[in-house]
Structure 1
Amino acid sequence: MYLQLQKFYLENRLEMIYGNHDMVYRNQDIVKKNFSEYFDIKEAKKLPLMPNLKFHEGIVLENSETKQEIFLTHGHQADFMNYVGWKFNRFFVRILWKPLQIWGIKDPTSPAKNYLELLKVERKIKKWISDNGNKITIVGHTHRPHFPKPLKNELNFFNDGSCVHPRSITGIEIEDGKIALIKWFIDTKDDGILQIVKEYVENPENISDYKSIDL
């Protein structure tokens, strides 16, 4: 997987955003230690991987023609325990909640596993969007896909969903001035060979149709 990421990196097309599970990558020394090089078994030596890779808390994309902006971030910033108290939370997830999950006890601090926590986090994110001119915003964290329709008086709140499903991942795709909610999943051909298939969960919409609105 990392060699696939390296291809994007070498083309200057890779941007990384850290979240609550990898907050340590705020530290550039840790990023350098883990991503600068790798050991190639065939050549029996270390080779460069992504030596100058940087992780960001958020990224703003700008359309070079229309100047329309899209804000990308993980979304955990709206979750106190996973943002401010991430070290404390990580300790309890590893030591306490992980073993208890065997008995069906869910982590109450996780938006992905606690519906009330999920709603609370999403409300905070939506309020931020509303307070900031209804800026087009794409997040994750709550693992619940969301795709607003343009021109319907909705907040421009997008959630790319989750990459932890057994057979699929969801994501936001931006291409040729359009935005869509997609799903990649494992399927079989008629001859039984496995293949990766892309499917639209929400069909592409023109990004230019997402305007600031008064709510």
Structure 2
Amino acid sequence: MFTQKRLTEAYKNAKKMYFDDHSRIVFMSDAHRGDGSTSDEFLKSRNLFVHALNEYYENGYTFFEVGDGEELLEYSEMEHIKNAHTDTYQAIKKFYDKNRYIRIFGNHDIYLDNPKYVKKNLFINYDEYSEVFYDFLKGIEPQEAVILKHRNTSQELFVLHGHQGDAPNDQFWFFTMLSIKYFWRFFHRVGIKNPASPVKNVTKRHKIERNYSKWIEKHRRALICGHTHRFKFPNNKQIPYFNTGCGIYPASITALELTEGMLRLVRWKEKVDENGVLHIKRETMRGPEPVEAFDIRKPKEVVEYLAEMKIQRTKKTRETRAAFREEEMENDKED
């Protein structure tokens, strides 16, 4: 019951933004960036994360970081985190400078709900090499939740971290912070995880997801979140609950992409080719599926029809682009 209330409160207070079939958005969450010490879980995947961000930046995406970007419950000094992951924050700054970075806070970076903390730690940064302060994410306003509304159909995607109503990580987060900072932090160094966390506790994780599902069914809105670290992309007959996964899997990171009006769950991972050369590859795990396929406000038959029309239009557009590129190549050969 409390989860339903908290999700509804977040929805009512959410920042509203618009998207359409030309929008390019990537949702990523739960990087848990630390201070670079042995207990920093982000260390093993930061190269994947930076590479993925650079690819998304070059291809015109807006980056939604859906909570727990920093592990502030474990490492309270934001300065140390920024210094440990300079490449990551340089990539984030590129998005922000182009007005393409949206920050949502979660339970492990709940301090970002405090404007004074944000101003002190994110507005400026310190360059240790040149020994000067410079504008970093000046003016940023982290949100608890965002509603993405389609310009033409009014379909909504409700985006938030997903800890709302999870008692130890919501209303009792301060006590959880104390246990993490002064107890579990040291166990992390030898690979022992907190068994009460939804990441490791399957029963707890499934309970949280059932609460998400109840809210979606009642309010008839698609939900995009993180928190559980369990990536999720609904099947055709499932309710529209999406989970971005996380950025601290042992050998990969996951993301949810929205482009050309299509949703797709992807994984970035390291692969070795036949010559022994290490590459970073992006692979599709689920999708792409038209965003209309997850509009549960409409009858099922209407949703299926709109989704099929979107697939056909997208296929035709891609074929036209391919033909145009082929024609250009032929003209270049003739010249």
TM-score scaled to structure 2, two decimals?
A: 0.59
Unaligned runs of at least 5 residues, structure 2: 1-87, 300-335
Distance 1:19 1:160 in 2: 13
Say whether 1:146 aligns with 2:232.
yes
Pairwise CA distance, 1:188: 3.3
Name the % identity: 34
Alignment of 1:111-130 (within 5 A): 111-130=198-217
Unaligned runs of at least 5 residues, structure 1: none
Alpha-carbon displacement from aligned partner over 1:123-173 (angstroms, at most 9, x marks no partner): 11111111112x1101111111111123x2x21111111211122111111
Distance 2:282 2:232 in 1: 18
Report which structure shows greater RCO (CA 8 Å, sep ≥6). Answer: 2
Distance 2:267 2:172 in 1: 32
Say whether 1:182 aligns with 2:266.
yes
- Where 1:89 maps in the other structure, the secondary structure is helix
1:60 maps to 147
Pairwise CA distance, 1:43: 3.8
2:98 maps to 11
2:223 maps to 137
Say whether 1:194 aligns with 2:278.
yes
Say whether 1:162 aligns with 2:249.
no
Distance 2:190 2:98 in 1: 46
Say whether 1:95 aligns with 2:182.
yes
1:2 maps to 89
Query: Larger C-alpha radius of gyration, 1 or 2?
Result: 2
2:157 maps to 70
More strand by share: 1
2:8 maps to none
More helix by share: 2
RMSD: 2.1
2:77 maps to none
Say whether 1:209 aligns with 2:293.
yes
Q: Which amino acid aligns with 2:250?
A: P
